[in-house]
Structure 1
Amino acid sequence: MSTPEVFDPPPFAGRLSGHGGSHAVEVARHHGIDTMFTLSGGHVFPLYDGAVNPDPTMRLLDVRHEQTAVFAAEGIGKLTGRAGLAVVTAGPGVTNAVSGVATARFSGSPLILVGGRAPDSRWGQGLLQELDQPPLLDSVAKRAWTVHATEGIGAAMDEAVRTANGAHRGPVFLDVPMDRLYDQAETELKGAAERADRSPEPGRVAEAARLLGEAERPVLVFGSDVWLDGAARTALEAAEELGIPVITNGQGRGVLPGGHPLLANRARGAALGRADLVVVVGTPLDFRLGHGLFGGKDGAPPAKVVHVADSAEQVTDHMTPAAAVWGDLSAALRGIADAAAPTASARSWRQEITEAATAAAASDADVLASGDTPVHPARIYGELNRILDDDAVVIGDGGDFVSYAGKYVEPKHPGQWLDPGPFGCLGTAMGYSIAARLARPSSQVVTLMGDGAAGFSLMDVDTLVRHRLPVVMVCGNNGIWGLEKAPMQMLYGYDVAAELAPQTRYDEVVRALGGGGELVTDPGQIAPALRRAFDSGVPYMVNIATDPENVYPRKTMGV
């Protein structure tokens, strides 16, 4: 799959009648939303009624914790490029959803969260779960507001979806009082709205191309917005035409398929450390990219940076790039590739980085086949890579264990890798698993979680079972908080609050909830267990006891 499915309907136009919940559902359906992720609550019953009456028009998928509903909706946004919908009840339903909304904001994932609210008619009387909720979401949503008229619910939903789906994508919170949802109304929406012109400025494109044409050691970085903005195919074509090394992160992983000669992820340190120009496309210059401070390795001078973003507000403001381009990423990449002519030095640089990446991959052979007991985490990925189909969706929810996945698992196509993104919130596993199984019904779905992360969402295996959503779960069970234990030892010479019970039977939890699972302690049994999991047709946990001494090597605690 090279780009998200193209679906860009105009604003809703037409007559809406019935209660407020039916207005919201009809408009959401117009925008391609076919599933409502929720946890039952009386404040939002009319939305359920609108989904199932007079005929079912929207799938209801109920979960065991509101965070899972939001992560599922966010996962739909990540996988399709179009907003998913989560509906939660008032008060604690909304507060339980905040971390998922923050994750969507940091990841640029389109998301609609509709929250119930105590009724307007008795506001201020100490009602159940009476809370002014939009202020809680203001700092993490693109927009958060309350609709105080039933006649305005449809228009608000229309605006919410278009806002979430518009660059730069992100979450929107819509707060609807209970009585306004239940009330009946008729209204007419005209649907008039102009589409914004997202064409990048030609002069900025030309300057980026000029810098690229002068560079001797250029590197391209492709991030999540390359996928979400529908530019994955253009990015691949541009990279191949330019013939320079590429590093991918987030949902940019897979834009260049694993094994592509230009993919430099396995030589990331050398590429970014010795580059003289780094063109960063569709991702912020945050901690994952050393805040844009490239170059300087082996005596190299600091590298110039070109930042290409899907909207002006996404261009870095903590440093001044040598050039900045914003707008439609396909148009920006096409313009830069057409105008740039890499130097002969750039071609020899590409060969140098390709050889470094090839050598690094070859050096992995021993650790990927490690026979150590307890199991080395890398051995799990050595076995998993042999089993994964080219269209498999891989989900990471964890710290140390998932860091190994980032190193050793390379998707074959974009839109097949989900992780919590720069906000780093654990507990995404079950929500993303639900989303992946719905969005990619014929693909393998494998969720990788550390034993710490498993504690945040494992009860929602019940949701997978009830809704018949088979997913393979692989737990790297080392009995510690791996990201915390080693740094604390380094800082203080001791650690506290970093231990978990060794070999906890998370597989038995999954079995008790109706799925399947097994504990693996022998590295030779990893591959057979994974095959049983994929063949089972049920949610299945392969719980693998890994070595707590094999922590992922890091230069800093921030990456």
Structure 2
Amino acid sequence: MEGTGGDLALATLRGHGVREMFTLSGGHVFPLYDAAVQQGVPIYDVRHEQTAVFAAEAVARLTRRPSLAVLTAGPGVTNGISAITTAAFNGSPVVVLAGRAAMWRWGAGSLQELDHVPIVAPVAKRAATVTDPQRVVSDVDAAVREALTPHRGPVFLDLPLEVVFSRAESEIAVGEPVRVVEPDPEEVDRAASLLARAERPVIIAGSDVYAADAFAALRECAEALRVPLYTNGMGRGALPPRHDLAFARSRRHALKNADVVAVIGTPLDFRLGFGDFGDAQVVHIVDAESLRATHVTPAAAPCGDLRLALTQLASYTGVRAEHETWIAALRQAERAATAKAEEEMAAESDPVRPARVYGELRKVLAEDAITIGDGGDFVSYAGKYLEPARPGCWLDPGPYGCLGTGLGYAMGARVARPDRQICLLLGDGAAGFSLMDAESLARQNLPVVIVCGNNGVWGLEKHPMKAMYGHTAAADLTPGLRYDRVVDALGGAGETVTKAADLGPALDRAFASGVPYLVNVLTDPADAYPRSANLA
């Protein structure tokens, strides 16, 4: 193929399955836009670079293939850093291509002249500059392969002006498939034996099980060993909600009483008490050496392809204990917790409490709806009350905890899943990071429903600070702001809800609207999520 550096880069990415580009316009990357037009790749543009990377990350997470964000030089790159970091924490194979000031005039003070690589390198699997038009294809191919190699993650290449604009001829060749790493069979067998022989075993499965497309193997494993299953992140939806081994609301009780806990495809981080499960033995199964926990010594720690590991776990034929008594005890705890949640989700209150919002929302969400969380307490309640029925239906910022993901994730989800309901759960604090991109959704005909929990405070900080110091600082927002009017002014629509009885009809109108529609729910600022996780 003969073409500019932009032509060659995009053609190589298309060979790896990239189907769309997310960007904010910049002159340093014009050849990449021209390539997209010539090669029939849709361009989705945004109002802030972080939204472009978040949108690309949503596509990568949902489709398990590489995705593309294109950033202009200098501030275009630095504006995307938090989103690149989020992709790194989530193991998302995002390819970020950036412009760069010309090499031949480097040091003379060109517009947006900045060496991006040392800035991006700590948060990307690979960060490099393409220095020769003849190397565009090989460098892009190598970067994509790095992004897809477990543990997956973002990669970054910047292309100086004379590289992206210059023409060259190069064969578009995609390298060999990413090598599958087989876990140590003895280590997997040790893990299986621990689970099978335990009296009170538990499995917790996370996002990397989805990334590995290993849900069938996970189900086979849980059923074969008869082990209760809990999930977090994109592990949610691993089993149908009515499956006898699917549990959600009794996790604290389970971890307090378990004698073996197998954590699969998710780190032993603050979300799981750093792997401190009392007297229980820990099994930690990860897809790459870099994810091995260093603060915990597991009783078994297989490392490698999760689908292979889970399939081998399921084939265990050794001695096993009876687990039905334990399963029944957990089911009793699950029913009690569910009954309490049902009561909370139906409760009348003035002002509205977040629990009631989710009680009404679940009535209108389709089984395959994609639900996105971007916020603090409001989204924590979503994790408590909403349980996806299928895999690939839940997106949240992940362990990096970066606010502002929501509008980008909603855009990416709508692009990747055009036939689904897309529902963004947005805190009013999080709205300040990216709500202008409602214009990007409206202009490009990308309808989503945005449910904004508007309590007028930074709830995640206000309530703990009040408990610690007896006062708060920098924790208040303006009460009752009309975020729905912002979306309306930007080309969408919306309304404000103050009464619980009005929630259902408002949600019906939102999903029927066919535009970005924000339901602005004024919620109780005194309602604090009962948080138990420690930051450190």
Tell me the TM-score normalised to structure 2 length: 0.98
Looking at structure 2, the residues matched to 417 and 506 of structure 1 have their Cα atoms a distance apart, in angstroms, of: 24
Q: Does 1:323 align with 2:300?
A: yes
Q: Does 1:110 align with 2:110?
A: no
SS in 2 for 1:364: helix
SS in 1 for 2:170: strand
Offset, 1:340:
5.4
Looking at structure 2, the residues matched to 192 and 74 of structure 1 have their Cα atoms a distance apart, in angstroms, of: 23
Query: Where does residue 24 of structure 1 map in the other structure?
Result: 9
Looking at structure 1, the residues matched to 524 and 33 of structure 2 have their Cα atoms a distance apart, in angstroms, of: 47
Query: Where does residue 542 of structure 1 map in the other structure?
Result: 519
Looking at structure 1, the residues matched to 42 and 230 of structure 2 have their Cα atoms a distance apart, in angstroms, of: 38
Structure 2 contact 193–319 (Cα < 8 Å) conserved: no
Q: Does 1:238 align with 2:221?
A: yes
Residue 453 of structure 1 aligns with an amino acid whose one-letter code is: A
Of 405, 409, 415, which aligns to 2:392? 415
Looking at structure 2, the residues matched to 493 and 310 of structure 1 have their Cα atoms a distance apart, in angstroms, of: 45
Query: Where does residue 135 of structure 1 map in the other structure?
Result: 118
Residue 45 of structure 2 aligns with an amino acid whose one-letter code is: D
Percent same amino acid among aligned pairs? Answer: 54
Q: Does 1:36 align with 2:13?
A: no
Of 138, 151, 168, which aligns to 1:185? 168
Looking at structure 2, the residues matched to 351 and 35 of structure 1 have their Cα atoms a distance apart, in angstroms, of: 48
Query: Where does residue 8 of structure 1 map in the other structure?
Result: none
* Deviations 1:372-407, CA, capped at 9 Å, x for gaps: 010011000001111111100000000100000000
Tell me the TM-score normalised to structure 1 length: 0.94
Looking at structure 1, the residues matched to 46 and 319 of structure 2 have their Cα atoms a distance apart, in angstroms, of: 52
Q: Does 1:404 align with 2:389?
A: no
Q: Does 1:52 align with 2:40?
A: no
Query: Where does residue 183 of structure 2 map in the other structure?
Result: 200
Offset, 1:264:
2.2
Looking at structure 2, the residues matched to 508 and 236 of structure 1 have their Cα atoms a distance apart, in angstroms, of: 45
Residue 535 of structure 1 aligns with an amino acid whose one-letter code is: A
Looking at structure 2, the residues matched to 528 and 341 of structure 1 have their Cα atoms a distance apart, in angstroms, of: 55
Change (3 A) 1:477 1:87: same
Alpha-carbon RMSD across the aligned residues, in angstroms, is 1.3
Looking at structure 2, the residues matched to 79 and 177 of structure 1 have their Cα atoms a distance apart, in angstroms, of: 31
Q: Does 1:424 align with 2:406?
A: no
Looking at structure 1, the residues matched to 480 and 244 of structure 2 have their Cα atoms a distance apart, in angstroms, of: 40
Worse overlay, 251-260 or 494-503: 251-260
Worse overlay, 338-347 or 150-159: 338-347
1:157-196 to structure 2, matched below 5 A, reads 157-188=140-171, 191=174, 193=176, 195-196=178-179
Query: Where does residue 9 of structure 1 map in the other structure?
Result: none
* Deviations 1:298-343, CA, capped at 9 Å, x for gaps: xxxx111111111122121221110111111111011112115674
Residue 22 of structure 1 aligns with an amino acid whose one-letter code is: D
Looking at structure 2, the residues matched to 332 and 380 of structure 1 have their Cα atoms a distance apart, in angstroms, of: 40
Residue 494 of structure 1 aligns with an amino acid whose one-letter code is: H
Offset, 1:26:
0.5
* Structure 2 unmatched runs, 5+: none
* Structure 1 unmatched runs, 5+: 1-15, 296-301
Query: Where does residue 267 of structure 1 map in the other structure?
Result: 250
Structure 2 contact 487–518 (Cα < 8 Å) conserved: yes
Worse overlay, 340-349 or 219-228: 340-349
Offset, 1:359:
1.4
Looking at structure 1, the residues matched to 332 and 322 of structure 2 have their Cα atoms a distance apart, in angstroms, of: 16
Looking at structure 1, the residues matched to 194 and 477 of structure 2 have their Cα atoms a distance apart, in angstroms, of: 51
Query: Where does residue 514 of structure 1 map in the other structure?
Result: 491
Looking at structure 1, the residues matched to 426 and 252 of structure 2 have their Cα atoms a distance apart, in angstroms, of: 26
Q: Does 1:452 align with 2:429?
A: yes
Query: Where does residue 467 of structure 2 map in the other structure?
Result: 490
Worse overlay, 256-265 or 427-436: 256-265
Looking at structure 2, the residues matched to 47 and 507 of structure 1 have their Cα atoms a distance apart, in angstroms, of: 35
Residue 182 of structure 2 aligns with an amino acid whose one-letter code is: S
Query: Where does residue 343 of structure 2 map in the other structure?
Result: 366
Change (3 A) 1:340 1:400: farther
Change (3 A) 1:269 1:431: same
Looking at structure 1, the residues matched to 289 and 272 of structure 2 have their Cα atoms a distance apart, in angstroms, of: 19
Structure 1 contact 208–306 (Cα < 8 Å) conserved: yes
Worse overlay, 237-246 or 329-338: 237-246
